[in-house]
Amino acid sequence: MPPAPLPPRAPRQPLSDLDPALLDDATLKEEGLRDLVLRHANLANRRGVNVLVERVRLTGCRLTGIQLAESNVRDLAVADSRVDLAAFRMSRLERVVFRGCQLQELDLVEADLRSVVFDACDLSGADFRNARFQRCEMRGCTLTGALGIERLRGVSMPWPDLVGLVGELAAAIGIGIIDPEEDEAA
């Protein structure tokens, strides 16, 4: 049995709160998001390329369809939020925690994830193709229909979660499953 992996590093805390009404598209595109605490903010369908998101905490927010391609996301904590249809394609995520989030169809294609935690999240249909993981954890997550699941090298999971993924992992690496009823009939 391999040695226990190192746990992910926790995100550093932001310095201030911001009224969500003060956010606009220019804030996300030009300045990025830094040192912010946002509650119940709507960041849906925002787009940015090469954006810096640093020391941000989001609670109860809506980020449906947010796209941050080729961006740097550090020290982010997202709790109880909708982040479905979001894209962090070719981005670097470091010291990030998603807790209790809806992350259906999350796009992490070619993303570099370091010390990222997914805790009790729905990652159904997420796309992990060519993603790289280091010191990451997934706990109590749904991964039904995820693409690139064979790319989860570097992710730690509790044993019951791993056992629940056996079918998807076997399919991803090309192992066929023999139905015991069909085997007995032959």
72 lies in a domain?
Answer: yes
Q: Which of 29-33, 97-101, 114-118, 147-151 is least confident?
A: 29-33
Q: In this predicted structure, what is the pLDDT of residue 17?
A: 55
The rounded distance, in Å, linking the Cα atoms of 73 and 96 is: 8
12 lies in a domain?
Answer: no
The encoded tokens of residue 99 equal 């807790």
8 lies in a domain?
Answer: no
Average pLDDT over the chain, rounded to an integer: 89
104 lies in a domain?
Answer: yes
Strand partners, 34: 54
Q: In this predicted structure, what is the pLDDT of residue 16?
A: 57
28 lies in a domain?
Answer: yes
Output the pTM of the full model: 0.84
Beta strands at 112-119 and 136-139: parallel, antiparallel or unpaired: parallel
29 vs 159, which has greater pLDDT? Answer: 159
State what percent of residues in the chain have pLDDT above 90: 70
Determine what percent of the chain falls in helix, strand and coil, rounding each to the nearest 5: 15, 35, 50
11 lies in a domain?
Answer: no
pLDDT average, residue stretch 138-143: 96
Residue 131 has pLDDT above 80, yes or no: yes
80 lies in a domain?
Answer: yes
The rounded distance, in Å, linking the Cα atoms of 137 and 152 is: 10
pLDDT average, residue stretch 21-44: 76
Q: In this predicted structure, what is the pLDDT of residue 180?
A: 81
Q: CATH number for the domain including 134?
A: 2.160.20.80
> Which tens digits make up the pLDDT trace of 92-108?
999 999 999 999 999 99
Question: The domain containing residue 42 runs over which residues?
Answer: 20-185
Cα separations in angstroms, 101 against 12, 17, 60, 66, 98: 20, 21, 9, 14, 6
Q: In this predicted structure, what is the pLDDT of residue 58?
A: 96
Give SS3 for 64.
coil
Residue 4 has pLDDT above 90, yes or no: no
6 lies in a domain?
Answer: no
Q: Which of 19-23, 78-82, 96-100 is least confident?
A: 19-23
Q: How confident is the model at residue 18 (pLDDT cuts 50, 70, 90)?
A: low
The encoded tokens of residue 63 equal 């980020």
Phi, psi of 8 (to 5 degrees): -65, 155
Overall domain count for the chain: 1
